[in-house]
């Protein structure tokens, strides 16, 4: 699977993300229901809602890591029910609750692994760690790093991959002021390059977004 240069899967007329009555249930439990959501290029969108409302699951759905069990939609032009999702995955970065790093590898090694699998050169990994302020800690093993440092390393992943769709769960969790500002910068960068950034947060005031949607009871309500 060679890394092709990004070819736009979406035209100016289509949405980057379009969910049509998408739902997700696990056994008898409904997590998401009748979700209608459209996201366009250049947007930064906030995702708000109480605990258990389905925000994380919605992010995973947008990341194509889970398929909807009802309804459907497209992400980056790929039908969520088709195998096209494998094609568009390299253009998505999801930074979730738990750090997706290998504890026994250093921050630099984790980043180099990402660069390698993303088809980017190793230098990019080093630069990304510098940009997030971890150049001095690059050779520390992930298991010896604080939660905030791990979070920053994951933000470096967004810089390495340069996704079209950036999904951030608990966007500002565990980050100090400067790192928090970094989140906004990276999200803005993705939006400037014609992508979309989706940030989940419990703190509506902290979010620096163009618009927000609320997730309540597994459904999406558009807010201002």
Partner 1 sequence: MTALRSRWLELLAIVALAASLVRSFTVQADVTQGDVQRLMYVHVPSAWLAFLAFGVTVFASAAWLRTKQDRWDRLAAASAEVGVVFTALAIAAGMIWARPVWGQFWTWEPRLVTTALLFFIYLGYLSLRKAVLDPAVRARRAAIMGIIAFIQVPIVYQSVNWWRSLHQTSSRNSIDTPLRLTLWLAVLAFTFVYLALMRRRLELARLEDQLEARHADSASELAGDGVTIPTLDRVGQNV
Partner 2 sequence: MTFWRQAKEIARKDLVVEARTSEVVLMTAPFGAAALILIPLAIGTDAPLLSRLGAGMYWIVVLLFGVLVILRKSAVDGPAQTDVIRLLGVDPAARFAGATATTAFLLLLFEIILAPVVIALYNPDLRGWPWLLLILPLTAAGLALLGTIAAGVTTGLGTRISLTPLLIIPLSLPLLLGATQALEGLRLGRGILPWLVLLAAVDLALAVAGVLAARPIEEATA
Contact footprint for partner 1 (CB under 8 A)? 25-31, 33, 50-54, 57, 69, 217-218
Nearest to 193 by CA among 91, 75, 95: 91
Interface of this chain with partner 2, residues 151 to 210, rule: CB under 8 A: 157, 161
- Closest to partner 1 by CB, 3 or 67: 67
135 DSSP assignment: G
Binding partner at 27 among partner 1, partner 2, none, C-beta below 5 to 8 Å by kind: partner 1
Euclidean distance between CA atoms 105 and 92, whole angstroms: 23
Considering the complex, state which of residue 26 and residue 181 has its C-beta at the smaller distance from partner 1.
Answer: 26
Binding test (CB under 8 A) with partner 2, winner from 30, 33, 34, 113: 113
Kindly identify the residues of this chain, within the stretch 29-88, that bind partner 2 according to CB under 8 A: 60, 63, 65-67, 86
Query: Of 57 and 74, which has the nearer Cβ to partner 2?
Result: 57
The site string for partner 2 over 116-135 (x = CB under 8 A, - otherwise) reads: xxxx----------------
Lookup result for tokens 């998401």: 32
Distance CA 58, CA 168 (A): 11
Q: Please name the residues in contact with 196: beta carbons below 8 A apart, sequence gap of 6 or more.
A: 16, 17, 39, 40, 41, 42, 43, 44, 45, 164, 165, 166, 190
Q: Does 104 contact partner 2 by CB under 8 A?
A: yes
Choose the binding region for partner 2 from 5-13, 103-111, 129-137, 183-191 (rule: CB under 8 A).
103-111
User: Whole-angstrom Cα distance, residue 205 to residue 26?
Assistant: 33
CB of 216 within 8 A of CB of 53? yes
Q: Are 196 and 169 in contact (CB under 8 A)?
A: no
Does 108 contact partner 2 by CB under 8 A?
no
Q: What are phi and psi of 41, to 5 degrees?
A: -60, 140
Closer residue to partner 2 (CB): 33 or 208: 33
Binding site for partner 2 (CB under 8 A): 1-3, 26, 60, 63, 65-67, 86, 89-90, 92-94, 96-102, 104-105, 109, 113-114, 116-119, 141, 157, 161
């Amino acid at each position: 699977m060679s890394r092709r240069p990004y070819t736009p899967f979406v035209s100016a007329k289509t949405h980057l993300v379009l969910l049509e009555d998408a739902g997700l249930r696990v056994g008898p439990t409904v997590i998401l229901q009748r979700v209608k959501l459209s996201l366009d290029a250049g947007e930064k969108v906030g995702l708000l809602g109480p605990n258990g409302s389905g925000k994380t699951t919605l992010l995973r759905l947008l990341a194509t890591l889970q398929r909807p069990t009802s309804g459907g939609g497209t992400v980056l032009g790929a039908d969520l029910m088709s195998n096209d999702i494998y094609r568009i995955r390299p253009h998505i970065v999801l930074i979730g609750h738990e750090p997706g790093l290998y504890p026994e590898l250093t921050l630099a090694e984790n980043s180099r692994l990402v660069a390698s699998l993303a088809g980017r050169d190793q230098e990019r990994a080093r630069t990304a760690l510098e940009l997030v302020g971890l150049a001095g800690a690059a050779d520390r093993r992930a298991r010896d790093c604080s939660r905030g440092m791990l979070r920053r390393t994951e933000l470096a992943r967004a810089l390495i991959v340069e996704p079209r769709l950036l999904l951030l769960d608990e966007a500002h969790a565990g980050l100090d002021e400067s790192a928090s500002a970094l989140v906004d910068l990276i999200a803005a960068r993705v939006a400037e390059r014609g992508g979309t950034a989706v940030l989940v947060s419990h703190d509506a005031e902290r979010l620096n977004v163009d618009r927000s949607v609320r997730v309540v009871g597994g459904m999406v309500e558009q807010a201002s």
